Structure 1
Amino acid sequence: MKKTTIADVARYANVSNSTVSQYLNKRYEYMSTETRKKIEEAVEALQYRPNLMARSLKQKSTFTIGIIVANIIHDFSTKIINALEAEFDKKGFHMIVCNSADNPKKEREHVETLLEKQVDGLIVFPTGENQNLYIRLNQQKMPIVFIDRFIEDVAIPAVLLDNFSAMDMAVEQFQKQPLAIVTTSLALPITPRVERLEGFRQALRKRDLPIDERYIKNGDPSEIEEIFNELFALEQPPRGIIAANDRIAQELMVYIKKHNLHVPDDLQVIAVDDVPYAKFITPSITTLQQPILPMAQKSAALLLAKIKKEQLPHEPQLYRFTPILMERDSTI
């Protein structure tokens, strides 16, 4: 069967080849709604499929973005992937999503695989352990944007939550003392984990509250129950806990139910990341929501500007976004 061409579509729609080409590349600025409809109908009627290989060779682009997430099971990861896909789709780009599981070796392997596939750019949740790799790629002008995290001394722009503001906002909500914070393991220098713990200390210091490291905990998911046991075995158990990410929040909800703790009477709770169940369980959980859409829009805009070799304005390398407080029953 003869393959349908742009010329076939143009004849069917009674427009020029260049007009069809503009339509396929989503350049609609000077195209009437009627013309777009005619071309759309022609594409459908003739079952035209663009030759992506030819397009890539002609424009020296694969129109593909590589995304390396740290852990795809996190609520934030799935939401930001969805938002990024919508942003890149507007510009005719597709995505390949890889999951590093916070493993530096897997992260490096994913980077190498994506480069072999000749992606046009990378968005990465870095583990922090592949500094030399990113320095080399940055020197080679590979378009890269970090999200959720950054790496010290690597001049790659990063889009992330203002973790210090988040912790200040969280501590302000509690009416009971002492306060505790729990995050996942610090075996790797993961930016939000490190910054949220330090932000918690700063927020206590700002309010002249004591900083007791016994209430500042981190560990692997398998260790979290034991961490809560240690906290509630203290002479003064915490009256408020910040779950520094959605994994910790899940473990905390299980612990609260298992030990018949009453929220907020026995324990006030705030979780970072507005997981769907937070507003449905009883009592509902106060959360700090990451502004997903603005963060995705900024990440996509930065990467596309790098791909197009546009001169970026002289702005900070770190783009921090203020969290949104979703106040619910767990802190009242």
Structure 2
Amino acid sequence: MRTITIADVAKHSNVSKSTVSQYLNKRYEYMGEGTKTRIEEAIKLLGYRPNIVARSLKQKSTTTIGVIVANILHTFSTQVIRAIEDICHDYDFHTIVCNADDDPEKEKKYIEMLQAKQVDGIIIFPTGGNVELFLSLKENDFPLVFMDRYMSEVQVPSVVLDNEKASKLAVDYFVDRGYQRIGIMTTSILENLTTRIKRVGGYRQALQEQNIPINENYIKSLELHQFEDAMTNMLSLKNPPQAILAGNDLALMEILKFTKKKKISIPKDLALIGIDDVSFASFYNPGLTTVAQPAFEMGKKAAELLLNKIQKKEEDVHHHIYSFEPQLIKRESC
């Protein structure tokens, strides 16, 4: 079967090829409704499909962006991806989603793959590695936005939560509820991930402001498989914590699995607050008090920043950090 071309559509609808091209690019300003209808009907009748590669070469744009998440299992990551996809859909852009598993080498391979596919830009949850690669992208003016984390060495637009405040909201609420021995458990900070470091830092600062001594035995930053042993040891202390702040949704789920296995009653035996408002928080028994981050708003902002840079709609802000406010959602676990 012969490939249907713009010329075929133009001939069938009795218009010029440039008019069909304007229709395909949604430039309808000087196009009558009758013309639009004829072109639309011709496209359907002939089964015309635009040549994406040819259009990309002509426009010097693939109308595609890459999104590299650190760990797609995070509730926050999936919510951000959805928001980015929604905005890209409105702009007729496509998205390619990659999962780096917090592995700098895997992250590097995905960046190189996306560049080979000539995406117009990348939104990335940086692992903390690949500084030289990011600096090279920035030097070449490749559109790039960091999400959830930032890198002080690489000054590009970054969309983040006020992570210190997120921990402070939780600690202050624990104290208001009468708890003094407060711990924090989060996934590993070995890669110097700013999100986790800031949350632990905010926890420490909040305790100091509440005049509560910091007990290093109550602070755990671990791989997920280490959580059970760490919780066993922590709760076996002479003065174990009365309350724990889960630094993210994956940490929260490990803590919940442990408390169920050991038949620990929440909040009677152990009060609990999690950062990230997981989907099951409201109907878990008891309801889980959480510190929510506005994932959809953050994803939307990241997409708008990247698309504006791609389309050169506004002056580039090389190192501005867009910080969003967390919200404490009170339920029964504390």
Give the TM-score taking structure 2 as reference length: 0.91
Q: Which residue of 2 aligns with 1:321?
A: 324
Report % sequence identity.
47
Please say if residues 25 and 92 of structure 1, whose CA atoms lie closer than 8 Å, have aligned partners that are also in contact: no
Please say if residues 65 and 93 of structure 2, whose CA atoms lie closer than 8 Å, have aligned partners that are also in contact: yes
| Change beyond 3 A, Cα 1:71–1:38 | farther
| Change beyond 3 A, Cα 1:260–1:271 | same
Q: For 1:247 and 1:31, how far apart are their aligned partners in 2?
A: 53
Please say if residues 157 and 317 of structure 1, whose CA atoms lie closer than 8 Å, have aligned partners that are also in contact: yes
Please say if residues 286 and 329 of structure 1, whose CA atoms lie closer than 8 Å, have aligned partners that are also in contact: yes
Please say if residues 156 and 319 of structure 2, whose CA atoms lie closer than 8 Å, have aligned partners that are also in contact: no
Secondary structure (helix, strand or coil) at the match of 2:132 reads helix
Q: Which residue of 2 aligns with 1:259?
A: 262
Secondary structure (helix, strand or coil) at the match of 2:213 reads coil
The residue type paired with residue 207 of structure 1 is Q
Q: Which residue of 2 aligns with 1:296?
A: 299
| Change beyond 3 A, Cα 1:315–1:103 | closer
1:282 matched to 2:285? The reply is: yes
| Change beyond 3 A, Cα 1:263–1:31 | farther
Q: For 1:263 and 1:27, how far apart are their aligned partners in 2?
A: 59
Indicate the RMSD between aligned Cα atoms, in angstroms.
2.3
| Change beyond 3 A, Cα 1:166–1:32 | farther
Q: For 2:34 and 2:150, how far apart are their aligned partners in 1?
A: 47
Report the CA distance between 1:255 and its aligned residue. Answer: 0.9
- Please give the residue correspondences for 1:82-97 in structure 2 after superposition, counting only pairs within 5 Å: 82-97=82-97
Report the CA distance between 1:232 and its aligned residue. Answer: 0.5
Q: Which residue of 2 aligns with 1:209?
A: 212
Please say if residues 282 and 331 of structure 2, whose CA atoms lie closer than 8 Å, have aligned partners that are also in contact: yes
Secondary structure (helix, strand or coil) at the match of 1:277 reads coil
Structure 2 runs not aligned, ≥5 long:
none
Deviation string 1:61-89 (CA, Å, 9 cap, x unpaired) is 11111111111111111221121111112
1:270 aligned to 270, 273, 289, which one?
273
Structure 1 runs not aligned, ≥5 long:
none
Q: For 1:234 and 1:224, how far apart are their aligned partners in 2?
A: 16
Q: Which residue of 1 aligns with 2:129?
A: 129
Q: Which residue of 2 aligns with 1:81?
A: 81
Please say if residues 26 and 91 of structure 1, whose CA atoms lie closer than 8 Å, have aligned partners that are also in contact: no
Report the CA distance between 1:45 and its aligned residue. Answer: 3.7
1:156 matched to 2:156? The reply is: yes
Structure 1 outlier segments of 4+, above 2 Å = 1-48, 308-316
| Change beyond 3 A, Cα 1:263–1:139 | same
Q: Which residue of 2 aligns with 1:173?
A: 173
Report the CA distance between 1:22 and its aligned residue. Answer: 3.9
| Change beyond 3 A, Cα 1:233–1:22 | farther
Deviation string 1:109-160 (CA, Å, 9 cap, x unpaired) is 1111111111111111111111111111101111111101111121111111
- Aligned residue pairs total 331
Compare 86-95 and 215-224 and name the one that shifted more.
Answer: 86-95
| Change beyond 3 A, Cα 1:239–1:124 | same
Please say if residues 185 and 247 of structure 2, whose CA atoms lie closer than 8 Å, have aligned partners that are also in contact: yes
